[in-house]
Chains A and B, each alone.
Chain A
Amino acid sequence: MSSTSIPRTGGTEFTDNLNKVYGLYTGGFVVFVLFLAFLEWMGVPNSIIGYLFVFFTLAVYAGIGVLSRTMQVSEYYVAGRRVPAVYNGMATGADWMSGASFVGMAGTLYLLGYDGLAFVLGWTGGYVLVAVLVAPYLRKFGAYTVPDFLSSRYGGNFARFFGIVVLFCCSFTYVVAQIYATGIIASRFIGISFEIAVFVGLLGILLCSMLGGMRAVTWTQVAQYIVLIIAYLIPVVWLSTKQYGIPVPQLTYGQALQEIASLEQQLVAAGSTLKAHTQPFTSYSPLNYFALIFCLMLGTASLPHILMRYFTTPSVRDARKSVAWSLFFIFLLYFTAPAYAAFAKLEVYQNVIGASLEALPQWVYTYGNIGLMKVCGVDAKSVADVAAACGQVAGHPGTLRVQDLAINADVIVISTPEIAGLPYVIAGLVAAGGLAAALSTADGLLLAIANALSHDIYYKMVDPSAPSARRLIVARVLLVVVAIAAAATAATRPADILAMVSWAFSLAAAGLFPALVLGIWWKRTTTAGALAGIAAGFGITIFYLVVTRYYPALGVESFGMTSLLNPITGAPVVDVAAALANPETVGAVLASKVGWFDVTNISSALFGVPIGFAVMILVSLVTPAPSREMQDFIDAVRRPRGETLMQEKTT
């Protein structure tokens, strides 16, 4: 059964009317926000407005999920392959932009200045590689999952299994972090307990994905993209209009940068030490800055939950167009994030630093009370607390200094409505946006993991004769199991797992990028070469991550690792010899502070990718060339015309 011969029942009408449906939806959402603004004006308490926001949006996503239920295998795995390029672009945007991108990206830019832009560049430029090297060819092949392609290209279940291992390693920690983010956002904004919030989020995720698989996730992600982009843009556009008279924050923050630079000079002249906002390489050395960009980009081009979005377009041509649209929709958020950072920094330098301790702005206390703002080392809960804490500091002048203030990265986006003096309804909107970002990413990841288990392991490896109905039941059961496992892990607040999320990009890049790219672009790649390359690249990356993070002493003693260097002074950041002298604390002191050639472990694919490529090429050259049939198969993958190569059986 090919994609074109699927009976077009229940959904054709919907896909024909997408503009109308989502136009109405966007209008409805705007009316809903205005209605809540009216309620606020009428004196309805903030907590009720917060509840209405969260539950109404969750109900809409769940409704879309239930309406998109399906009993067809190709609908469940690839949304029937008829998602238009623009809408798939929006869905990919929501899939891509996580709770952390939405809430934390601007904060990272606030804290790191120029060096934080490595994330902005890395998380956008990778789409060039997706479009040019990988996505259109996987679409032509007609895969349901990324391991599907590895298995066909590299002859069998060994390659499939390697693909599943890499997929699981990079997706599971990531989905735990998303569910954790939904819990944090829901508990912070509507005041329910974190553990309950995690399971409310879980329910939302399951309702969106369980009944309709990829089809349901696609249409909820489009809805979630619309909410998140409106929520992200409104506060900062408002702030820009208020301060500079032009509603284009991406242009006006240039003026803010100028003002920040002159305030920074005054602060430095007055004896403060600070990292200038636009000064490069103050947090990362040039090597680490570019290594991070490299790893994030190649990771983007290998993450299975992103690649599988391009399996849903009607044609190879649409897959390419769709990558361009995806990047456009992602770009809208990422080129706005630096504006948030600049406006927040200006506010802090103008109204917080140098203010007398009794006259700090109100928002400092708002976020101090939920543990996100520290002044003189304690949560800024009240004027008295702050005065007492700073009173303990020897020689404190009584006005706030740069080094007294510690801001959590999450504050920047969520505090902007309050800093701009906007009504509470906008803060609720931002919460709804953050929730949409976290839920949509969690949906995509969960589906990637569950599909690998149900399609690749169960159907392709355990029971290839399973009828469609049973496959779909197994797929759903596994989805629920993985979701509950992820939520249960998130509910324990696992600090380690959250720190590991940034590893996902390096793991995906080292594990999948060489095998995917060479599999398409170099016919000579053999099965033995690919397996050896995946094992070597992925192996060295995970070795570097685990040793630098958990066994740094072993790394120093047996593998020639040395202390990382301070990017400004070039001095070692820890005294390795002194740390080794105390076996009790050596692990904690050295964790993530040692490595080879001063490369931080977040960029460990810098070693894994070249080694993966090298091993793959060398082993391929010494093993017999792939068969004639395999070469014809690769030719067919490269040629857009013709049927997909992986055909679904018609039962």
Chain B
Amino acid sequence: MKTPNAELHWEKTRRLMFIMLGLWFFFSFIVHFFVNALNSIVILGFPLGFYMAAQGSLIAFVVMLFWFAKRQDSIDRECGVAED
């Protein structure tokens, strides 16, 4: 087992937090600012701007969270502060 390195752990955790918040902000707000432009693209009947709000962003949130759980867990292990 590695010796705990609390400073490194928190630095990496913070960096991951900012990445997650950046992605969150993009899929919650930024992509929907362009709804009118995206709506001119139609895939399988879905105007893309509508699709992003109805499904696209939601799928992104779900995938992000599973990735986050895995990534944070490996940070915890790397820095020796994971639960046994």
Contact B83 A254 (CB under 8 A): no
Q: Identify whether the interface residues of B are mostly helix, strand, loop, or mixed.
A: helix
- Which of B46, B64, B83 is A128 in contact with, Cβ under 8 Å? B64
With an 8 Å Cβ cutoff, the count of chain A residues facing the other chain is: 47
List 5 A-B residue pairs with CB atoms under 8 Å apart, sorted by A's residue number.
A125-B24, A125-B57, A294-B28, A320-B69, A327-B62
Contact A297 B28 (CB under 8 A): yes
**A78 on the interface (CB 8 Å rule)?**
no
- Knowing A324-B65, A324-B68, A640-B81 touch, does A293 contact B44 (C-beta < 8 A)? no
A323, B29: Cα distance in complex, Å: 21
**CB within 8 Å of B: which of A599-651?**
635, 638-641
- Knowing A278-B39, A280-B35, A641-B4 touch, does A121 contact B58 (C-beta < 8 A)? yes
Report A296 CB to chain B, min CB distance, Å.
10
**A255 on the interface (CB 8 Å rule)?**
yes
Q: Mark B4-47, 1 if CB is under 8 A from A, else 0.
A: 10100110010011001101100111001001100100111111
**Most chain A C-beta atoms within 10 Å of own C-beta, residue among B20, B21, B28, B68:** B28
**Most chain B C-beta atoms within 10 Å of own C-beta, residue among A128, A280, A294, A316:** A128
B42 — which chain A residues lie within 8 A by C-beta?
258
**A161 on the interface (CB 8 Å rule)?**
no
A278, B39: Cα distance in complex, Å: 8
- Knowing A278-B47, A290-B32, A334-B58 touch, does A640 contact B68 (C-beta < 8 A)? no
Nearest chain-A residue to B56 (Cβ)? A335
In the A-B complex, the 7 residue pairs with the closest CB atoms: A254-B45, A324-B65, A117-B53, A320-B69, A254-B46, A254-B44, A258-B45
Contact A324 B69 (CB under 8 A): yes
- Knowing A114-B35, A278-B50, A324-B69 touch, does A133 contact B29 (C-beta < 8 A)? no
Nearest chain-A residue to B63 (Cβ)? A324
Report B11 CB to chain A, min CB distance, Å.
11
A120, B58: Cα distance in complex, Å: 8
- Knowing A125-B27, A125-B28 touch, does A638 contact B10 (C-beta < 8 A)? yes
A binding-site residues for B, Cβ under 8 Å? 114, 117, 120-121, 124-125, 127-129, 131-133, 136, 250-251, 253-258, 278, 280, 289-290, 293-294, 297, 315-317, 320-321, 323-324, 327-328, 331, 334-335, 338, 521, 635, 638-641
A290, B21: Cα distance in complex, Å: 16
A278 — which chain B residues lie within 8 A by C-beta?
39, 47, 49-50
Contact A255 B45 (CB under 8 A): yes
Report A115 CB to chain B, min CB distance, Å.
10
Contact A124 B69 (CB under 8 A): no
Contact B62 A324 (CB under 8 A): yes
- Which of B32, B58, B66 is A324 in contact with, Cβ under 8 Å? B66
Report B24 CB to chain A, min CB distance, Å.
4
Contact B24 A129 (CB under 8 A): yes
B23 — which chain A residues lie within 8 A by C-beta?
128
B binding-site residues for A, Cβ under 8 Å? 4, 6, 9-10, 13, 16-17, 20-21, 23-24, 27-29, 32, 35-36, 39, 42-47, 49-51, 53-55, 57-59, 61-62, 64-66, 68-69, 72-73, 76, 80-84
- Knowing A129-B24, A327-B61 touch, does A316 contact B83 (C-beta < 8 A)? yes
A125 — which chain B residues lie within 8 A by C-beta?
24, 27-28, 57, 61
**Most chain B C-beta atoms within 10 Å of own C-beta, residue among A256, A317, A328, A639:** A639
Contact A132 B20 (CB under 8 A): yes
Nearest chain-B residue to A117 (Cβ)? B53
Contact B69 A131 (CB under 8 A): yes
A639 — which chain B residues lie within 8 A by C-beta?
4, 6, 9, 81
Contact A331 B58 (CB under 8 A): yes
Contact B54 A335 (CB under 8 A): yes
A317, B76: Cα distance in complex, Å: 9
A641 — which chain B residues lie within 8 A by C-beta?
4, 76, 80-84
B83 — which chain A residues lie within 8 A by C-beta?
315-317, 640-641
Report B4 CB to chain A, min CB distance, Å.
7
B49 — which chain A residues lie within 8 A by C-beta?
114, 278, 280
- Which of B20, B39, B57, B64 is A121 in contact with, Cβ under 8 Å? B57
